[in-house]
Amino acid sequence: MAVTGIVATVLMQHASEGPFLWESRQHAKAAPDYSLADLARLDQRVEAHIDGLRVAGEEGWQLARKELAWKEPGEAFAASILAFESNHPRRIAEILGIASAVPKLARGVISALGWMDYEQAAPHIARLCTSELRSHRRIGIAAAAIHRQDPGRALHDALSSGDPLLRARAVRAVGELARTDLVPLLQQELSSKDRGCRFWSAWSSALLSGYGSSIQVLQSIAASPGPFRERALRLALRRITLLSAHAVIQQLGRDLQSLRFAVLGAGILGDPALVPWLIKQMAIPALARVAGEAFTMISGADLAYLDLDCKAPEDFEVGPNEDPQDDNVEMDPDERLPWPDVPLIDQWWAKHRAEFQPGVRHLIGKPISVEWVHRVLHLGRQRQRAAAALELAILHPGSPLFEVRAPGFRQQKLLGRATSG
């Protein structure tokens, strides 16, 4: 296929836009304002650019390969799909070599295998899971877990690996795949010096069994700063009694540095009794939006849709600005959340509070039940859907955790199949 003029320009757009949109979906898959339908539309755009490279054959591969020079996961994602789908050994070896040399690119390779239909990805995943290289086995186990397919003996063997990255991915997969039979093997990792192994073993054990020791580890991780703090809180509060959860939130609320996590905890717990306290936190600019989200998690009230939002305070600044002397480079974690209008929300709650029973856990407006969390998986926003997936896994012991970050078009098929079944 000769590539000239307009065709070359279009192919260049495919090679650059596909990775760019993939990076966009990395934010969208956990965004507070993205529904499954929104994610599916974005994913269809990603797929369209990948398909443009596919139909170009060798020229498409060479363009995707050239983009790897940026050494970014999005470019690795696009090139990996073309390499694995081609079944070309040299292309696959090149992709895996790059992923091994630049660890962050492994994210793109794993995502590519997770993006492909499982039937097409399965032979590659099987080879990776039995590779002599630990970095390849980690990619294989992660890709199998995304598809919620059990890698079998490879998973069991990885639990005793000397490589903490491989071991951590394996103990995480135990929880995602609901391998309850492997939970006893995770107990030794609860005291691991590697924080990834320690967290994921506690997470998987708590999700599948509710063992007190694993919940205690999660609570200790949730109590102090660290990369797994929020994840630990999201599961720990779902696995302890309502009374104990209130005590955890109260303790977090006493520490100014942990107050944000107390607000998050209120939304996770879902007890309407915490709503008046949340409304008070909305008056604090740094907490206003996350408190508004927690309020929605409990009440189901969409602040923007119900006109319960307002403009940002004029003097409020967060994240990077244009001042070159300012060392603040942190992004605003609440950027996509609406600003709550406190008086209007107070009025809304006064009108609707009788509809909610204190002491009963709620998720976006209704008491938690199997039927309701299934409904949230269909219609909720991504963070709400992630909460519903955790609740469903706890309500249905032994069932794999629903993957709300999978390609949106695949999730729609799976949920449609579940509904029709």
Q: What is the pLDDT of residues 190-201, one digit of tens each?
A: 999 999 999 999
Closest CA to 95 of 113, 107, 83, 85: 83
Backbone angles phi, psi at 83, to 5 degrees: -65, -50
The pLDDT value recorded for residue 3 is 52
Looking at the DSSP bridge assignments, the partners of residue 35 are 381
Euclidean distance between CA atoms 410 and 401, whole angstroms: 15
328: pLDDT confidence band, cut at 50, 70 and 90? very low
| Chain segment 114-161, per-residue pLDDT in tens | 999 999 999 999 999 999 999 999 999 999 999 999 999 999 999 999
Are residues 252 and 221 in contact, defined by beta-carbon separation less than 8 angstroms? Answer: no
Q: Once rounded to an integer, what is the mean pLDDT over residues 164-169?
A: 98
Secondary structure letter of residue 400 according to DSSP: P
The pLDDT value recorded for residue 1 is 46
DSSP 240-296: S-HHHHHHHHHHHHHSGGGHHHHHHHHHHH--GGGHHHHHHHTTSHHHHHHHHHHHH
Question: Residue 211 above 90 pLDDT?
Answer: no
Question: Residue 272 above 60 pLDDT?
Answer: yes
Euclidean distance between CA atoms 357 and 180, whole angstroms: 34
362-363 and 366-367 strand pairing: antiparallel
Could you give the 3-state DSSP secondary structure of residue 333?
A: coil
| Chain segment 29-71, per-residue pLDDT in tens | 999 999 999 999 999 999 999 999 999 999 999 999 999 999 9
Torsion over CA: 83, 86, 92, 94 (sign): negative
Euclidean distance between CA atoms 238 and 219, whole angstroms: 11
Say what percent of the chain tops pLDDT 70: 95
Q: Which residues of 291-316 are buried (b: 16+ CB within 10 A; e: fewer)?
A: bbbbbbbbbbbebeeeebbbeeeeee
Looking at the DSSP bridge assignments, the partners of residue 310 are 339
Average pLDDT, rounded, for the chain: 94
Euclidean distance between CA atoms 255 and 307, whole angstroms: 32
418: pLDDT confidence band, cut at 50, 70 and 90? low
**Chain-centroid distance, C-alpha 235:** 13
The burial of 90, by beta-carbon neighbours within 10 Å (0-12 exposed, 13-18 middle, 19 or more buried), is given as: exposed
The pLDDT value recorded for residue 138 is 98
Euclidean distance between CA atoms 164 and 195, whole angstroms: 9
Cβ neighbors of 70 (< 8 A, separation 6 or more) are: 19
Euclidean distance between CA atoms 328 and 320, whole angstroms: 6
Question: Residue 420 above 80 pLDDT?
Answer: no
309-310 and 366-367 strand pairing: unpaired
336: pLDDT confidence band, cut at 50, 70 and 90? very high
Could you give the 3-state DSSP secondary structure of residue 367?
A: strand
Question: Residue 320 above 80 pLDDT?
Answer: no
Rounded to two decimals, the pTM is 0.94
Tokens linked to 258: 């942990």
Closest CA to 123 of 165, 95, 153, 151: 151
379: pLDDT confidence band, cut at 50, 70 and 90? very high
Euclidean distance between CA atoms 174 and 135, whole angstroms: 18
SS (H, E, C) 148-171: CCCCCHHHHHHCCCCCHHHHHHHH
Question: Residue 175 above 70 pLDDT?
Answer: yes
Tokens linked to 277: 């306290």
Q: Once rounded to an integer, what is the mean pLDDT over residues 272-293?
A: 98
| Chain segment 82-96, per-residue pLDDT in tens | 999 999 999 999 999
Domain boundaries, the chain: 190-240, 368-421
The pLDDT value recorded for residue 326 is 47
Backbone angles phi, psi at 255, to 5 degrees: -105, 120
The pLDDT value recorded for residue 7 is 75
Say what percent of the chain tops pLDDT 90: 91
Q: Once rounded to an integer, what is the mean pLDDT over residues 252-281?
A: 97
Cβ neighbors of 408 (< 8 A, separation 6 or more) are: 36, 37, 38, 39, 40, 41, 42, 43, 44
